[in-house]
Structures are given as C-alpha cells and as structure tokens.
Chains A and B, each alone.
Chain A
Amino acid sequence: MANDDAIAVKEPRAPRESHARRWSGLGWGFIAKLLMMALVNALGLTIILSAWNAEAWSILAVSVILLVAADIIYFAKRTLPLKYLYPGLIFLAIFQLFTLAYTGYVAFTNYGTGHAGSQEQAVEATLIQNERRVEGTPTVPLAIVRDGDTLGFAVTQDGIVSVGTEEDVLEPVSGAVVDDSGRATEVPGWEIVTQNDLFADQALQQDVIDLRVPVSDDAEEGSMRTRDGSSGAIYQSSLEWDDEAQTFTDKETGTVYVADQETGNFVADDGSRLPTGWSVTVGFDNFVKAVTDQNLAGPLLKVTLWTFAFAILTVLTSFGLGLLFALIYNDDRIRGRKWMRTIFILPYAFPAFMSALLWRGMLNREFGIINDWFFFGADINWLGDPWLAKFAILWVNLWLSYPYWFLVCTGALQALPSETMEASRMDGAGRWRQFRSITLPLLMVSTAPLAISSFAFNFNNFTIIYMLTEGGPPFPGTSGLGSTDILISAIYNISGVSGGSADYGLASALSIIVFIVVGIISAIAFRQTRKLEEI
C-alpha cells in the first residue's frame, strides 16, 4: 500500500506518456498493436490501390477515409472509446447502415435488368448488342490464343499478325509464325488453342463465339469476331450514336431513338424502345406500381395479407401450445419431468432449415409418409393446394417453435411469486379464475415483448417458406408469386438476385414497406420494455 501511494504522489510531477504511443512499460502490448496497425494499413492500401485501378471512386474515397480514421484513432490519446468501438462500427456502417440507406435509394430508381448502369454504359452495350457482320468485308485467317484465363484472337491481315483480347484492341505483334493458310501457329507470349482443343470443350466454344476483340478504342469502329474459330470478320453496330443529339440512328431503317432521361430508355417516335437502358430515379413509381400494376397488385395484396396472417397465427398457435404444455407439466408431482422436457424441446434444437426440408419430404404427395401413415395412403396434395400449403406451413412452424414458448413459459411460471398464487387460492379463486386473473396477466408482462419479437422474426421468416414450398403453388398470371409467399420471399422473387429478370427498384420499394412494418412493431416492443431507462 505504501508503494502505491508513492507512485500516486510522484505521478503529477512527471506525467506519463500515453500508453497509446509508449514503447516501454507495456512489453509486447504496444508492439502487438503496431503489428496489427501495419497489417490494417497494408490491407487498406491494397484496397485503395485496386479501387484506383478499377476506377471505383466511391469505394476509393470511403476506404481512404476509413483508413485515415483508423490511424488517427489508434495513435491518438483522446480517442479512447473509439478504440473499442471502431472495428464494430465499420462493419455496422458498411454492411448494415449503408445497405439500409442504399435500399432507400434504390427504391426510388428503376435499377434492374435493362436499367443496370449509367447512360454511357448503356450506349456502349447497345452498340455491342447490335453488331452485325459488315457486308462485303473479307474474312481473315484467325487463330485463338490464350494466356491463362484470358482468351484472345490472333488475326492475319496483309501478312501481319495482330493480337487482341476483349479488353485490349488488336495490335500487331512481331515474331509470330503463320502456316500456309495464313493462320498464326506461334505467337510469342501466347498459347495457341488448337482446333481439336476447341471442339473438345463446349464452354470454350461458347466463350470464343461470344468473344469480341475491338478493332479500336471507339466502339463504333466495330470488332473482330468469329463463327468457326478459324476465320474472323469485322462486325459493326447497325446503330450509330450521336453524342451531341443524344440519339441512336438505325443505319438500315433510319429509325431515330432518343435518350429519354425520365425513363432511362432510348425511345423511337413510334414508341418502340431499345432493350438496354440506364438507371434513373423514378420517384414513387415503384410504390405506385406495387399497388396499381395489373399483374402485380392483386398477388401482392394477397401476399401481404398472408404475411400478417402467417406471423400472427404462428405466434398465437405456438405460444398457446407452448403455454398449455408448460401449464400441464409445471407440476412437481410428475415423475420424469426432466426427460419429458428434453424430448419436448427436441424440434427446437434440430436446425430449422433441416426441419423444413424434412417436412417437405414427409408432406410429399406421392411418397411422403404423412399421407401414408396418417391418412391411409390418401392422395392429399399438401404442398400443392393453396389452402393446404398454408396450413402445412403453419403446422410445421408450430412444430418448430412451440418448444421455445414451452421453455419461456415454464421459466416464467416458475418465476411467478408463490405468495400471490397462495393468496388468490385463500380468497377462493378457482383454477380457471386463478389462471385468467393472476397467472396469465403476470405471464404476459414477461412474455409479451418476446411475442412481439417473435412476430417480427416470423414476418421475415424466409427460410421456412422457401424451404417448404418456395412460395408455391403459384398464383395464376405472370406475377411469379405464389399463395404461400410472404413479403420477403416475394421480394426475393422480384429482385432476381438468384437469376432471371431483375427489378431491384421494385424489390427495394417492397423492402422499405417491410422495414416500416417491422419498425412499427419494434417501436411497440421498445415501449414495452423501456430499454432506454437502462442506458
């Protein structure tokens, strides 16, 4: 104790250097930090450099800011709390806050298939898509070359061999050897793909047919392409882009397509449009489309209603069943309670996605055991009939989640004050009366917030829907939605992230609606628990 006092007295005279920058005293602590920071900086610089190379300016800016902030935070004295918060905050900011905000932005654009990039990219893509072989141009001998994964063409024009790839325009190379037909057989720095290799590999053939090697940096000059892998020809776009007027002109028909900044499309006078457009902000169009579009509005309304019904019914049934079991088996006089309880909660311990898949098999119409064991081999189409599929989903979700409520209610029942129960019995309350007036209200205090979060969880319970029915059976029409789709699985189908036609704008608009619902529910739960009081 005396020693401690001595140090404490000495300290004010010689103020310690902050240990954020101290070499001595901490041993390896500071060195470890220095190594960590060196690693972080190396990683950060790598990302910054590749962002520079890829010309991804926003990613570049964000990574510079984050890296500088990291260096300031971990080498400055006054940033103590941030030293502990920063790693988590970065992930939170990029992968949660940003994605939330970005959803909000995309909801107001027409981002999706046909509206994927900037106008500049749309022009280039349109030029490429409309490439046709130029009439009257000669075919030239062509060999396919590769360097690792990069494919290229070596073409022989007037005895000179030029090599180009998808990225690099055709440039003459020296030192190439050609055979009698003029095809290159040896190109320095490249490996020649023989015809035999080409015929043996289907994927490679497709790559070769898709490959276009630009003749010059200007997309309008056209590109070298091949049909057979041994001869090439110049392909040029049948459209001509006029940057001044912002129009495409079809060289054959003379049709003029004007860039329409409202819709992000190239539109002709007769209303026809080119397939590739660009992404523009469209205001509330996506929200309007969700409620007025003839193909979509009806199914979406049904999906929304079912989402609420599914979430509410799941919570009610599983809570009810769990509570019932808890009430029955919260009884000291029953023997083997511990074993019973363990078996009761088994479905909860079995991973949920596997349970859903397992039930999908068991409910199968032809060979599922549910029909076979319990319905004497009847031909009941559990997952194919709109109402039966809904019932099946509720049934499986009940099986999955009643154990949770059984556990929660058992815990809550055991925590009930025994004096209150005793007192009510003294006053002559019957069993039902006691349950209704004492047990249930007390139970609700602790379980209501859980019921609300369970509702919010099931509102977005993608796994069970997708694993069990994939949203089917489908609604008639072209909406692509089905009678057991909930909002999040509908969003999944519409968004096209798993392939197919994509409408990120509409999907994000629907996400916003889900966010609003979940936000309101959470706000209610929030008021219930009054967590803020703890802060």
Chain B
Amino acid sequence: MTEVTAQAPARRTPSRRGRWWAEIGWKYPVAAIIIFYAAFPLVYVLSASLSSSGTLSSTSSLFSDISFSNYAALSDTSYWTWVVNTLIVGGASALGAVFMGACAAYAFSRFRFKGRRGGLTTLLIVQMFPQTVAFVSVFLLLTALGNVVPALGINSKIALICVYLGGALGANTFLMYGFFNTIPNDIDESAKVDGATHAQIFWKLIMPLVTPILAVVGLLAFISAFGDFILAKIVLVSQDEWTLAVGMYQWVSNQLSANWGLFAAGAVIASLPVLAIFLSLQKYIVGGLTAGSVKG
C-alpha cells in the first residue's frame, strides 16, 4: 500500500491523482478496515491460545506472552478423543454420502425406469424439509432402536452417522445427478458393446470421470457433520463419545467454569486444517454451494 501511494505522484498529474483517489485509492483504507473486521477475532483467538492464563480476560496487548501451556493442557482433557470422534463421524458420513449419492445419481442419470421422474421429484421435495427440525422424533426413534440394537441407539456414533446419512441422499443426489449428466452417454454405450456390465461401467468408467463432484460432496458432507451441533448433542450423551462441537461448547457454556484458554487452543488446532482445506478449495466449495440451487 505504501508502495502504491508513493508511486502515484511520479506518474500522475495532480488532477489525475485526485481522480485516482476517488476511483481506486479510497478502496485501500476501506480494505484495511474490512480486514480488521474480518480478522481481529481470529488474531485474538490465536493470541488467547498462546497466553499462559486460562481466561479470555483482556490483556493490554495481543501476544503479550507466548506460552504453549494451553496446547499442552489439551492432552489432559478429552480433546483428542473428540477430535478422533469428529473425524470418525465426519469421515464415515462423507464416505457414505459420496457412495450413496453417486449410486443414486448413476441410476437416475443412466437408467430409464418407471418411477424415475417421480423419484427425483420426491427427493427434491423431501430435501426441502431439514432433518434437524425433526430432532424430537430422531431422538424417539433412536431411543426405541437402542433397546433392540444398542449400536443404533442414543450415545452411539454409529447411530449419529446413520442419522446424517439419512439426509445424504436428498442433499447430494441433485448436485451429482447434474454432473453425471454431463458425462456423455456414448462412453457407456461403447463399453456396453464391449461387454462391460453396469457395475464395471459404474466403478471403472464413470467414477474416475466424476471425481471432482465426489470430492465436493464428500467435503460438504464432512463440513456439515463437523459443524452440526443439535443432532450431535442429542445423540451423543457421554463425554467420551462427544464430537468437537458438543465438547467445546461444554467447555465454555458455564460462565464460572469456562476455560477459554483451552477453548482457544482447541479452536486454533481444529480450525487450521479446515481453513487450509477451505482456502485451497474455495472455488470448488463455493461452486458446490451455489450449484445446489442455481444451475446454469
């Protein structure tokens, strides 16, 4: 920025310089304000995580003392168990969502069968009703299932994954269906002539061609499982089963016993990979988000 303002007078006459300020120049200080607005909470959480005190109390300056005691203290808590739980739940839901979504999209895109149009329409309508609003009956259903199969009951990660997978088909099929349709049918036809079965076509021909959409759907499913709070809080009861969202909420929800130092350290660790993935793939993620409702 200083560079730019320093260069300006050399090249521009005073009137042009005025115009430059009116047209472009003012955007730099405004950008500085926006950057401050966007980044100061994040810089602050980084500073708090490196502070040696466990409170979020205001210090006169950021990064006044650098200590890794909060990070070290994480291993005395269930934090890493929660990380593992989150990875298991998110990973399994992402894999399941990708697999089931791809299968369904393949069927809708490649086969012509009775009820195809009706099936697609039904999916479209069902996905409008968010599963989270039905959490009461999810709770009741899991309570009943848990009496029969404990692995599918309350306080089981498998049950939570199943619940997430229930919402997977509605959310992802359309995204994938559109992408599958862009793969020309001729490819399947020629493979079929060569004697390939539908399963071979699916696994060996189509899947490699649709990898980008598989990645997007997997990522979106992971992020939504990572960020879900209400279902995870209802299903996972005991501390050892919690995901990060439930566990970290519990850390700071009680004002008296809130441990903000731990929270800050945990938040930095958990958000770094997410930030890295998001920033490197921002184009695809935003593409995926928008494609969900707008199609070119």
Task: Please give the residue numbers on chain A whose beta carbons come within 8 Å of chain B beta carbons, in ascending order.
Answer: 4, 7-8, 19, 26, 29, 46-47, 50-51, 54, 56, 59, 80-85, 87-89, 91-92, 94-100, 102-103, 106, 111, 325, 328-329, 331, 333-335, 340, 342-355, 357-362, 364, 367-369, 372-373, 399, 403-404, 407-408, 411, 446, 449-450, 452-453, 456, 460, 462-463, 466-467, 470, 488, 491-492, 495, 497-498, 504, 507-508, 511, 514-515, 518-519, 522-523, 525-526, 529, 531-532, 534-535
Contact = CB atoms under 8 A, between A and B. Distances in A.
A343 B41 CA distance: 12
B128 interface: yes
9 contacts: A8-B193, A84-B107, A100-B134, A329-B27, A357-B263, A403-B38, A466-B249, A497-B234, A534-B178
Contact of A102 (B45, B132, B137): B137
Interface string B150-174: 0000000000001101111110011
A354 B295 contact: no
- Nearest 3 Cβ contacts at the A-B interface: A95-B166, A522-B128, A88-B100
A334 B41 contact: no
A525 B139 CA distance: 30
> Does more than half of chain B's interface fall in helix, strand or loop, or is it mixed?
helix
Nearest to A78: B113
Interface in B263-282: 263-264, 267, 270-271, 274-275, 278-279, 282
A78 B293 CA distance: 34
B41 A504 contact: no
B133 interface: yes
Contact of A334 (B24, B137, B149): B24
A12 B170 CA distance: 40
B148 A59 contact: yes
B119 A85 contact: yes
Contacts of A59: 144-145, 148
Contacts of A354: 248, 267, 270-271
B295 to A, nearest CB: 7
B169 A331 contact: no
A308 to B, nearest CB: 16
Q: Could you say which interface size class chain B belongs to?
A: 35 or more
Contacts of A470: 253
A411 B148 contact: no
Interface of B: 4, 23-24, 27-28, 30-31, 34-35, 37-39, 41-42, 44-45, 55-58, 96, 99-101, 103-104, 106-107, 111, 113, 116-117, 119-121, 123-124, 126, 128-141, 144-145, 147-149, 162-163, 165-170, 173-174, 178, 193-195, 197-200, 202, 226-230, 233-234, 245, 248-249, 252-253, 255, 258, 260, 263-264, 267, 270-271, 274-275, 278-279, 282, 286, 289-290, 292-295
B41 A358 contact: yes
B144 A531 contact: no
Nearest to B120: A535
Contacts of B35: 340, 343-344
